[in-house]
Structure 1
Amino acid sequence: MIFNEKLRQTGENISMGFKMSYPEKVGGLKGEYWVKLYDRQGHLLAERHNNNIIVNTASVLIARLLKDNSEPSGGITYLAMGTGGVGWDLQNPPQPTTSQTILENEIARKAFSTEDVTFIDPDTGNPTIVPTNVVDFTATFAETEAVGPLVEMGLFGGDATDLLDSGTEVNYRTFPVINKTNSMTLTIIFRITA
């Protein structure tokens, strides 16, 4: 018995010299967001910050981009806002899940321009022109856009267009209601860290 144990240990020690082990996954995506609601005069009415959920279909979009940079034509291109599902408690909507693929009731979306997407220095938190593993996506909904009792939002890319519910969802978040009227402006920053 002692001989067998010594033989097993010797075999393990020898194989450790020739066998290399690598983790199956390296890192992962993490998301967070900031919401700021302003009145017509530019006064801050409400502010929120929280984490968001990176959904399962985000990996599909990443794989598509890795396979062929011509299809899809882009990464994350839209922020969508919604009023949630029928019968939802607007003050306490259901928790977001990684299986979400579209908003429950999308009412508006905003395309990101080149200026709306910024690399962030992970050490300082400041914008930088040097590519990093942190990207901010900023969208502002004007007074007449995304008006209603907002309780959900998500980032979309791939084959996303101006059409509601189009594209591949990358992340999703539900939150207690933000009652946006047509006299308010809503600015949202989504940060994705790889």
Structure 2
Amino acid sequence: MNFELDKDGIKKIDALLHGKQKKQKYHEQMDFLRSIKGEIFATMIHKDGRTETMSIPNIIVERCSILIARLLIGEALTAGATYQDIYGQDTIEKVRGISHLAMGLGKPFESYDGGSGTYIAESGDDISDVLNIQGLPQEWDKSNPPGSTVLGGRTLEDGDALWANIDKPILVNEIGRKKFQKVQFLNSDFSVSAYPTNIIELECEFGELEVVGGLMEMGLFGGTVEPFDRDYIAISQMEEYGDMVNYRTFKIWHKSSTDRLMVRWRITIPLNDAPMEPAD
């Protein structure tokens, strides 16, 4: 039996095959991201010297692959951005790697009232509307918040003041972020390495008046975070969120205006142990 496909039939088959290829590539990409291991070690230091600790794994988000791609091609930060390199020549400034740790309150929102020494609820109606549109939980159980996903907390919607960030994943309710003060490579036994390895550890400390409130989420950001020259960026000062790399939710952890919060974030990228590929 002989038959011929018309142009529409060929297009449909091509679209079907292309769709399968895209799906396969997506699953391969997600398998790679799932293989990257992240661990968070946090310590809350109270004014009286008491400490509270938290040690949890984390989720590498889907957007991380985009930041990796941008780093691989050495994409420019902005069309006109330049800096003086070590030879004194103008060079295009490249997209940055992981640079900031963001902390958020999730939902319900809380803030610390320094006058009364109590936590007070905020309305957050605009964010509730966004969560509703995106099909996300609008109320969080303080002792059992929604789980962390590869999509991050939520995505920015049309009409947001930071329009350039539309569709980028962010925290549900970020209140501030801190630039990492120490970044180092580790050996397989987690000792500090003098040379690059597949394990990195990033550290920062939030001061007493930074990220005050009932914390329930955190995330790593890199790429085009602005203003980059600030060590601490309150959400009201944010100009560009950048690309989310990791995301994690956790049961509520109260930070007062007399507490300090130290965080170490360790990331292990698996070494490629695939068998040799035969030559064509």
Q: Give the TM-score normalised by structure 2.
A: 0.56
- Is 1:89 matched with 2:141? yes
Distance between the aligned counterparts of 1:69 and 1:120, measured in 2?
A: 27
Specify the SS of the correspondent of 1:132: coil
- SS of the residue 2:219 aligns to: strand
Greater shift, 59-68 or 69-78, is seen at 69-78
Q: What is aligned with 1:117?
A: 183
Count of residues in Structure 1 that have an aligned counterpart in Structure 2:
167
Matched-pair contact (CA < 8 Å) for 1:102–1:165: no
Are the aligned partners of 1:31 and 1:51 in contact in 2 as well (CA < 8 Å)? Answer: yes
Residue identity over aligned pairs, in percent, reads: 40
Bigger mean CA offset, 61-70 vs 180-189 = 61-70
CA contact (8 A) 1:103 1:165 kept: no
Which of residues 127, 147, 164 in structure 1 aligns to 2:192?
127
Q: CA deviation at 1:159?
A: 0.4
Are 2:47 and 1:47 aligned? no
Runs (5+) with no aligned partner, structure 1: 1-23
Q: What letter is aligned with 2:105?
A: T
CA RMSD of aligned residues (A): 1.9
Q: Distance in 1 between matches of 2:180 and 2:246?
A: 15
Alignment check: 8 A CA contact 2:40 2:264 kept: yes
Q: Does 1:38 align with 2:45?
A: yes
Q: Could you say if the C-alpha distance between residues 164 and 189 of structure 1 is closer, same or farther in structure 2, counting changes exceeding 3 Å?
A: farther
Paired residue for 1:186? 261
Amino acid at match of 1:129: A
Q: 1:70 to 1:164 in 2, by over 3 A?
A: closer
**Alpha carbons 1:109, 1:164 under 8 Å: kept:** no
SS in structure 2 opposite 1:127?
coil
SS at match of 1:64: helix
Once the 2 structures are TM-superposed, how far is the Cα of residue 77 of structure 1 from its aligned partner?
0.6
Query: 1:108 maps to which residue?
Result: 176
In the alignment, residue 65 of structure 1 is paired with which amino acid?
Answer: L
AA at the equivalent of 2:101: L
Q: Which has the higher contact order (CA 8 A, sep 6+)?
A: 1
* Secondary structure of the structure 1 residue equivalent to 2:65: helix
Matches within 5 A, 1:39-78: 39-44=46-51, 46-68=52-74, 70-71=76-77, 72-78=94-100
Checking the alignment, whether the CA contact within 8 Å between 1:53 and 1:173 is kept in structure 2 is yes
Distance 1:41 1:131 in 2: 39
Shift of 1:91: 1.3
* Structure 2 gap segments, 5+ residues each: 1-27, 78-93, 109-138, 153-168, 227-232, 270-280
Match of 1:149 among 214, 234, 254: 214
Query: Are 2:103 and 2:175, in contact at CA under 8 Å, matched by a contact in 1?
Result: yes
